[in-house]
Structure 1
Amino acid sequence: MKRSTEENHSPAVQVGSLPRPSSPERHPMRLGRVAVAIAAMAGLAWAVWSVARWSGERASQEPELAEEEIEEPGPARWGPAYSGNPTVADLKQASIAVAGEVVAAYPDSPAAWNVMAQLQFHLGNAPEAARWWLRCVETNPQSGDAHYGLGYIAHLEGDNAKAVERFRAAVAVRPDDPRIPLLLAESLTRLGKPEEAAPLLVEHLKSGKGNLAGLVSLGQIYLDMREYDKARWAFEEAVRIDPASREAQFGLANAWARLGDAEKSKQAMSKFQALVANRRAESAVRVMSFDDVAKGREVAVLIHGEAAKVYAVHGALEKAEEMWRKTAALDPRHVPSRMELLAIYERTGRNRAALRVCEELRDLEPKQADHWLNYGVLLARLGRREAALAALDQAIALDPGSSKYRQAREVILSAP
């Protein structure tokens, strides 16, 4: 089979993940060109020109802006899955339709096959998902998504040797994916190789990508290796991050017991028992499915978002936009889809549509200064100078150490 030249287009597929820390580290979001233009001097000059052009040519632009308000097909015409009150069946049907459509559009594309594999996995059809992912890696051995998916299936089925093989291949392609070292370490431990798993997690934590789950896993490995003081350290660090972590408190109790400190072990065990009494047990490995509306919505958002990326890679930008709009309709609090739409609207000159998205992002994440920056620049472009300056003032208040917000304010203030 001919090897694909497509690039991997997204982070590793979310076929499931270990529990996240209660306050996960935020990754900087990719901003639309609105913010990028302000962030550099060239962009600042462009912003001045843009604001000035609006002031001087407002009459000539009115017809163009009026066109922005033409009603486009929306949730009411897309179907019940996008209505705001879908059933599990609605979400499943929409996801199946989207995956089938993208595969039909690009039948020779590993990126499209990956979307279908994800859908099949979340439908509970692991053999069919594996078939699609195997097809991906046979065509493109650098498909990190497929290696991860195959490794995850092997992990769930208890085939630890195969899981290790696939996770090693996945981490070689996706070294920055924070989930893979955790799963690889767990699979190595199950194979009876904790001495390989521990250094892997130590390096993972040193890289700054480590989190609560990494510390808990490392502590458990140290317990298996009978390195009890190291286990105590790992669990104490985990408890420091999240005192309500049952796994960390239980591990700490065991570590203190092995170290011979019965009193401290009793204290940690008491905290663990209190947490168990107050919180419903959760699976150590969470797999999204169509079990209920909440999980079904997560799967639908994932499938629509991945399909949007496939369309974008193939240059079908209108279809990519439609998928992002549907993703946003599925989840009114989904930030990534709105960031993608903001970039599309700004790039295509649909300022009022971009402004509406900026308002949504501002309301969803009011403490993110870049949202206020984007909002202010768009307001300035639309001639609403005072509101634009107020938005930039808010950005400055949120992040007083960054100069780009002050520079943007100066540009808007000095525009004719």
Structure 2
Amino acid sequence: MRLASRKPSDWCNPEELPKADVVPEQQSARRSFWVRKRFWAACAALLLIGVLFRLVWDWTHPPSPLLQVAADAAPEVAELLREADQLAQDTVAIFPDDPYAWDVMGQLLGRFGKTEDATQCWEKALQLDPNFAVGYQSLGNLALERGELKKAAEYYRKAWELQRDSSVFPVQLAEVLIQDGQLEEARQVLTECLRRHPRSLPARALLGQILVPLKDYSAACEHLMYVITANPDYTNAYYPLSTALSRLGHTEESRKYLARFQEMKRRDEQRHRTTLKTETQLPAVRAALARAYLLVAKIYIARGDIATGERLLKRGLELNPDEEEIPPLLGWLYFKTGRENEAASLLHDYRQKHRDSLEAQMATGKVFAEFKRFDEAEAAYRRAIELTPLEAGGYAALASLYLTAGKRPFDAHVLALRAAAREPAPQFFFILAIAAQRDGDSQAALSAAQEAARLDPTNDQYQRLLDSLRRTL
């Protein structure tokens, strides 16, 4: 074949080219090009699918509320918030039917501003247990923050109905009623609270305050004087006391208490300003997380998982060494698992660190008493009496210790008398009845039992003791 007879277009057909003109390297390069092109096209497609999947996932699965808060927080705070989120998520996943688990999540969410999510947690807790009083209280707190006074009152009233012996719920209810202008109903609530808890200073202070606009000035003075005698630093008692004294014509006394109020108010405001200057977010977050660890530990301990409870308590104490509820519970765990020396050492150090804390002394004494460490329990209760000689709690606890140990019946009788004299509440008359019976004074025991049953006629335990004493006389 002659090349001259070929048309130029014929040279474009590779199949008719002489085989010597097509080298293997060129064929391989062409194949490699198409393979690479298909590979990168597949990668681009997969990347696009991944991005779309992530967008859809993020839209249908937004981050948890605490992680949303963590996204805008400082690094050290964000780390703690992520830990809090993990703790809460794990707790409700492991204990989905436990209202206390949902309460933990609700408290963390509410603490960091996610109130709508917190509301759902407490509503879930109440679905699981309609008698979960803390759930109603927490919903009441949120309603109060939103200014929904009637709804808050409804929640606090329900909580109080479920725990009639509480001294906290009626005070919260009364505060809301006062804000809503329902002073007469608030007076009834506080009067009932004081019948059960005669030495409740918040209840007396509130009652004294509302008795001024209700024009019962003498009763207002009585309650408010009681408050400032028991606690001279109770700032909010001084102004209504000054007003009540002025209405009664005691001008000089009124001016004295007004001046005292103004002085204390300036002091309180200065303390508040100092706190705002020195307070940072990190310690507050650590304290909130430590509290959450304590609550979760209680869930595990209640279910018999002592090891996990101990681990959680230790983490809580690491986060906030000033959390007063953790050391007594940790000491209890040590006693429970046979580590008596470790428990005693922990509780002794705790008592010394919080030597001026009534709550610390009472909690320590209770743990020592449960495990029959009589001397340590007695020392803790005696310190409680030193701290609050006008309060009933220390006397009653020490009297109960003597009764439980079967020791010093006369001293138990005297201590119980002091407790009932300081706070004429049914539980203290009940202790007095038992102490008098052990001391051989049957008539005094009967009188105390009658008073306990009169103050709380629905208590079966009081009634049984009264019936028993009547049969023996």
TM-score, with length taken from structure 2:
0.57
Give the alignment partner of residue 186 of structure 1, picking from 145, 169, 175.
Answer: 175
Structure 1 residues 281 and 191, CA gap change in structure 2 (3 angstroms): farther
Judged with a 3 Å threshold, the aligned counterparts in structure 2 of structure 1 residues 294 and 203 are, in CA distance, closer, same or farther, namely farther
Q: Of residues 223, 244, 249 in structure 2, which corresponds to 1:260?
A: 249
Deviation at 1:110, TM superposition (A): 2.1
Size of the aligned set, in residue pairs, is 309
Give the whole-Å Cα distance in 2 for the aligned partners of 1:158 and 1:244.
Answer: 29
2:165 corresponds to: 176
Distance in 2 separating the partners of 1:396 and 1:115: 32
The reply on whether 1:273 has 2:265 as its aligned counterpart is no
> In the aligned structure 2, how far is the partner of 1:162 from the partner of 1:235?
29
> Do the aligned partners of 1:121 and 1:129 also contact (CA within 8 Å) in 2?
yes
Cα RMSD after superposing both structures? 3.6
Question: What's 1:73 paired with?
Answer: none
Write the distance in 2 (CA, Å) between the matches of 1:214 and 1:344.
Answer: 35
Aligned to 2:127: 138
Q: Alpha-carbon deviations, 1:183-242, whole Å to 9, x = none?
A: 101222233321111122122123236433222211221123222222222222222122
Paired residue for 1:249?
238
Shift of 1:391: 6.6
AA of the residue aligned to 2:110: F
Q: After superposition, what is the alpha-carbon deviation per residue over 1:66-97, rounded to whole angstroms, capped at 9, x for unaligned?
A: xxxxxxxxxxxxxxxxxxxx965554443333
Aligned-partner residue type, residue 196 of structure 2: S
Query: Equivalent of 2:349, from 360, 368, 389?
Result: 360
How far the C-alpha of 1:267 sits from its partner, in A, is 1.3
Q: Report the Cα offset of residue 268 of structure 1.
A: 1.1
Q: Does 1:348 align with 2:337?
A: yes
Name the SS of the counterpart of 1:154 in structure 2: helix
Per the alignment, do residues 109 and 234 of structure 1 end up closer, same or farther by CA in structure 2, a change over 3 Å counting?
same
Q: Does 1:321 align with 2:310?
A: yes
Residue 311 of structure 1 is matched in structure 2 by 300
Letter of the 1:178 counterpart: S
1:154 counterpart = 2:146: no
Distance of 2:179 and 2:265 partners within structure 1: 26
TM-fit CA distance, 1:404: 7.7
Kept in 2: contact 1:145–1:170 (CA 8 A): yes
Q: Which of 322, 325, 339 is the equivalent residue of 1:336?
A: 325
Distance (whole Å) between structure 2 residues aligned to residue 116 and residue 208 of structure 1? 32
* 1:392–1:406 Cα contact (<8 Å) kept: no
1:96 and 2:85 aligned: yes
Counterpart code for 1:140: D
The separation in 2 between residues aligned to 1:129 and 1:369, in whole angstroms, is 33
Which amino acid is the alignment partner of residue 240 of structure 2? G
With over 3 angstroms needed to count, the CA separation of the structure-2 counterparts of 1:169 and 1:358, relative to structure 1, is: same
Cα offset for 1:351?
3.6
Alpha-carbon distance between aligned partners in 1 of 2:204 and 2:229, rounded to the nearest angstrom: 11
Cα distance between partner residues in 1 of 2:382 and 2:223: 37
2:189 is matched with 200
Instruction: Report the identity percentage.
Output: 25
Give the gaps of 5 or more residues in structure 1: 1-85, 284-289, 381-387, 409-416
Residues 391 and 339 (structure 1), Cα distance of their counterparts in 2 relative to 1, 3 Å cut: closer
> Retained in 2: the 8 A contact 1:147–1:166?
yes
Report which of the two has the higher share of helix.
2
CA distance in 2, matches of 1:301, 1:103: 17
- The one-letter code sitting in structure 2 at the alignment partner of 1:272 is F
What's the CA shift for 1:113? 0.9
User: Which structure is higher in RCO with an 8 Å CA cutoff and minimum separation 6?
Assistant: 1
Map residues 10-159 of structure 1 onto 2, 5 A cutoff.
88-89=77-78, 91-159=80-148
> In structure 2, what is the Cα distance between the partners aligned to 1:207 and 1:377?
26
Over 3 Å counting, the alpha-carbon distance change for 1:91 and 1:370 in structure 2 is closer
Contact 2:287 / 2:323 at 8 angstroms: preserved in 1? Answer: no
Contact 2:366 2:377 (C-alpha < 8 Å) held by counterparts: yes
SS in 2 for 1:243: coil
Query: Displacement, 1:122?
Result: 0.6
In the TM superposition, residue 397 of structure 1 has moved relative to its aligned partner by: 8.1
Q: Is the partner of 2:269 in helix, strand or coil?
A: coil
1:223 aligns with 2:212: yes
Within 5 Å, give how 1:288-307 maps onto structure 2.
Answer: 292-307=281-296
Instruction: Tell me, yes or no, if the aligned pair for 1:369 and 1:394 is still in contact at 8 Å.
Output: no
8 Å CA contact 1:133–1:149 kept in 2: the answer is yes
**Structure 2, unaligned runs of 5 or more:** 1-74, 273-278, 386-397, 408-473
Give the CA deviation at 1:373: 10
Aligned mates of 1:377, 1:148 — CA distance in 2:
30
Q: Which amino acid aligns with 1:345?
A: Y
